[in-house]
Structure 1
């Protein structure tokens, strides 16, 4: 198994990835991801692979969703601390199993799953060939005609995050954003706790092309949070269901508008494996 760069491992050791998805923009990401996945997966017993599934938040939801139909969710992650936390969650989640594995070399037979999620691996594979390797491995593991959902961080995420939270007025952050915009190669050499870690930020068209180059049948690329993810008042909207419904409805309405795709933090490419 190839080691992750030290700074990436340290980032996830010092942050609670599961808790991130319960915060304001993180919660929007989680709800919208559920919505996008649920829209396409059929309501029947499925074998789902959660590649780079971190502490198991998405896997546990999938295992619980229509659990009576016999969903089986297998989570792989390369960070040992993530795997340990996910195993604790799996102990109380029927239908969920967890193992340590690398997204680029999955220990599963060809075509052994009905669907796969890659909701994190592409964030930290800074070399294009390695991203293609992870996408091809997902395609190998999923049966013909199955589903593959691939998340990426938007090329413009650090710019908008910097504007929303004031980081952009720091000259060091300005240098980071300039590189992000030019190349997608995000680096946080000063280890600032709120400036993420080593990663790759995709242009929407680039994510589309990588899925195609990996041999997947691409159906769509959609924005996950859109502009709503940057709103400072989003947290208070969660306590008002009617307001939340408005946010979700209009985020959904523009999710695949080409001119707005890069506006939010995350993108999801929806693919099928060739039949």
Structure 2
């Protein structure tokens, strides 16, 4: 079971790292575009009630609110909620129904309030399986019968592939880190120079499906988000070119049925009838 130390570690990391800017560069724009596609494919239509749990500063909450969803943003990190509050004050910003600091393992919402729940960060920040299943069970609790969970995770080989593209695998400390995470799924003790999570869990696709089942949800699908498209040399330049951008999106769509080919995956679950 994760402890308060786990929560403190997550908050400390995001107080140093600016998650609000992550999607602006590198693989971020491709990830954002594909996440938009998959959300629109699997969420019920607006004005459905959606809880964005672990939604950071609300980049997807505000986008979905702009499409007409009733959005409730929850994040463990007070800084993220403060950033979301600043965005909400900007002229023309879509309105969120609520935003609050909270833990995915103990949601401050009544049973059966939501048509959908999005879990974006909790499943890779919780290194203990019991905690991940608890977060999924909490999502199931707040879902209405027939409600949908979109559970995002990082794939087992993401750090290995990233390290190969950047040459980090030749650093002994990085190599030791990925050697452990490929065997166990758990990231621990990254090199001091690495801008990465101090600890995390990286899933195999079948593991994530099993966690959804143990959390009380029927597994609908597990999909890759980026596929191998992120491996193209000079990704940012390719993304800036309209023709190449469509090719990258096409590759991500083509390979979404093989989630292990990319760094991020999405599992879709559904709550059955009572």
TM-score by length of 2: 0.93
5+ residue gaps in structure 2?
A: none
* CA deviation vs aligned residue, 1:243-271 (integer Å, no higher than 9, x gap): 111111121011013xxx21211110011
Q: Which residue, out of 49, 72, 83, partners 2:70?
A: 72
Query: Given that residues 52 and 121 in structure 1 are in contact (C-alpha distance below 8 angstroms), is that contact kept between their aligned partners in structure 2?
Result: yes
**Which residue of structure 1 aligns with residue 207 of structure 2?**
206
Shift of 1:231: 2.4
Query: Given that residues 217 and 273 in structure 1 are in contact (C-alpha distance below 8 angstroms), is that contact kept between their aligned partners in structure 2?
Result: yes
Number of aligned positions between the proteins:
268
- Measure, in 2, the Cα distance between the counterparts of 1:189 and 1:243: 34
Within a 5 Å distance, the mapping from 1:156-235 to structure 2 comes to: 156-235=157-236
The SS at the match of 2:106 is coil
5+ residue gaps in structure 1?
A: none
* CA deviation vs aligned residue, 1:180-237 (integer Å, no higher than 9, x gap): 0110110135443324321111111111111111111111001111111232321012
* CA deviation vs aligned residue, 1:63-92 (integer Å, no higher than 9, x gap): 112x3xxx2100001111111111212334
- Measure, in 1, the Cα distance between the counterparts of 2:193 and 2:266: 27
**CA RMSD after TM alignment:** 1.6
- Measure, in 2, the Cα distance between the counterparts of 1:264 and 1:189: 21
The SS at the match of 1:202 is coil
**Which residue of structure 1 aligns with residue 263 of structure 2?**
265
The SS at the match of 1:267 is strand
- Measure, in 2, the Cα distance between the counterparts of 1:128 and 1:204: 14
- Measure, in 2, the Cα distance between the counterparts of 1:27 and 1:173: 26
TM-score by length of 1: 0.92
The SS at the match of 2:175 is helix
